[in-house]
Structure 1
Amino acid sequence: MHVEEWLQAIPPVWICVIVGVVIGVESLGIPLPGEVVLVSAALMSAQHVVSPVWVGVCASVGAIIGDSIGYAIGRKGGQPLFDRLGRRFPKHFGPEHIARAQRVFDRYGMWTVFFGRFVALLRILAGPLAGALRMPYWRFLVANVLGGILWAGGTTAVIYYLGIVAERWLKGFSWVGLVVALLVGLGTTLYIKRKALRAAGESPVPGPDPEDGQRSISVTSSE
């Protein structure tokens, strides 16, 4: 069953709860379709099935809390945690994924947490990696809160207003206007993702440095 069809069978208050829970669990480092659930709920809010404000609030809270718990798990588990995750979820936590994300963290620090919200790979890894790399929690929290609100609230608002505009144009048979709106929305989304990828330094992992070798997380389980 399609995600939106599944959500439509649920009372509005539980839609918001599910959005927050799915996004929160995804932010822990568990691969779930958080973005798909958020977009589906935002589209439903444009159809007046659920409040867009509560969708955005629950999504933001889930993102912030989930990332914070992920940070704590990463700080406690360190390298052994990522070794276990790599064996369990090789498509998301394989050595090349961890190495790429770590290089981004080494270069951009707390901005990786902020922009990581807009990049699928970093959205899953940001919290646990920040904890494992011992990023100061206050820096992580600032980037986490700002990134979570901008991503969740912004995505909800954009999808909601695009849905409202599309509904009005459909009623007036303005197909040209609808196509233009969809193209503008798609272009805006691609532009934001491209900027996020560029800012976060998302690129193929280069070869090992001959001087200091390939780095890895050196943190072990503690506290």
Structure 2
Amino acid sequence: MESLLDLVDPQWWLTMLGAFATVGVLAIIFAETGLLVGFFLPGDSLLVAAGIFSSAAAAQGLGIAPLSFPALVIGTPICAVAGAQLGHLIGARVGGKLFDRPNSRLFKREHVEKAEHYFEKFGPAKAVVIARFMPIVRTFMNPVAGVLEMPPRRFFVWNVIGGVLWVESMLLIGYFLGGTVDPAKIDKYILPGVLLIVLISLIPIIVEVVKNRRGKGGTPPPPMGKHHKDSVKRP
């Protein structure tokens, strides 16, 4: 059970990666946004933690080498955009067959349906940007956009906008916290701070769950591939 909890603990990842923490953060951001099996990896919390521990004083309080903030500022948006582009490509090429498979430990049909729901509700452009701030949904939104034939050029534009807004905001929040918190007490602040960020990012999902329960689920999203293609042409 501890190993499963470790996988979603950003502090555990940074400590385990050690001197390679900066490179590790870049790889995790790419995997979480580009590989369907990466949905369980920490995204928001890892970015905030990386921003915090790019401060030398904060990193010293945890007993690790400080992460390179310039490398994070430049590298994380590139990895976030590249990962999402891979997800869109996977969806466009094999997404239909991939999403038709039965549930397993790493794949849940409800994850796809939730991403599909937001795609239909907000339209392709807004959905791609908003999904960046929603754990799990951001992993599945990209292949869903590919399956629903969102044009690659249009997806790229909104992918870049959403990716940059997401990673830079999380990093800057962490960097600000790392520079203001007492290094001697950093270990006491990191977990509550990161937890707060995660809870904020989960608010949209919680709101949707409450709405669905009050409305007894509303109209369930139709299976993949049965949408009107006009839906991907909305702004």
SS class of match (1:45): coil
SS class of match (2:70): helix
Is 1:206 the counterpart of 2:217 in the alignment?
A: yes
Is 1:4 the counterpart of 2:11 in the alignment?
A: yes
Q: Distance in 2 between matches of 1:25 and 1:183?
A: 25
Structure 2: gaps (5+ residues): 1-5, 60-65, 227-235
Q: Distance in 2 between matches of 1:152 and 1:9?
A: 22
Kept in 2: contact 1:56–1:156 (CA 8 A):
yes
SS class of match (1:27): helix
Identity %: 27
1:98 corresponds in structure 2 to 112
Give the superposed CA RMSD.
Answer: 3.4
TM-score norm. by structure 1 comes to 0.73
Q: Distance in 1 between matches of 2:158 and 2:147?
A: 16
In structure 1, give the amino acid aligned to 2:129: F
Is 1:33 the counterpart of 2:41 in the alignment?
A: yes
Is 1:69 the counterpart of 2:86 in the alignment?
A: yes
CA shift at 1:55, angstroms?
A: 1.8
Distance 1:186 1:99, change over 3 A: closer
Rg (Cα) greater in structure: 1
In structure 2, give the amino acid aligned to 1:34: P
Q: Distance in 1 between matches of 2:27 and 2:222?
A: 34
Kept in 2: contact 1:43–1:163 (CA 8 A):
yes
Q: Distance in 2 between matches of 1:43 and 1:105?
A: 33
Structure 1: gaps (5+ residues): 172-177
Distance 1:133 1:85, change over 3 A: farther
In structure 1, give the amino acid aligned to 2:182: E
Is 1:80 the counterpart of 2:97 in the alignment?
A: yes
Q: Distance in 2 between matches of 1:68 and 1:156?
A: 21
CA shift at 1:100, angstroms?
A: 2.5
Kept in 1: contact 2:92–2:143 (CA 8 A):
yes
Q: For residues 133-158 of structure 1, what are the alpha-carbon distances to aligned partners after superposition, in whole Å with 9 as ceiling and x for unaligned?
A: 11111221122111111111110111
Q: For residues 86-123 of structure 1, what are the alpha-carbon distances to aligned partners after superposition, in whole Å with 9 as ceiling and x for unaligned?
A: 43524xx32x3322321211121221110101101211
Distance 1:161 1:112, change over 3 A: same
Number of paired residues?
199
Q: Distance in 2 between matches of 1:123 and 1:208?
A: 22
Is 1:53 the counterpart of 2:70 in the alignment?
A: yes
Q: For residues 164-210 of structure 1, what are the alpha-carbon distances to aligned partners after superposition, in whole Å with 9 as ceiling and x for unaligned?
A: 11127969xxxxxx99xx9999878755664xx28xx844483447x
In structure 2, give the amino acid aligned to 1:132: V
Distance 1:170 1:216, change over 3 A: closer
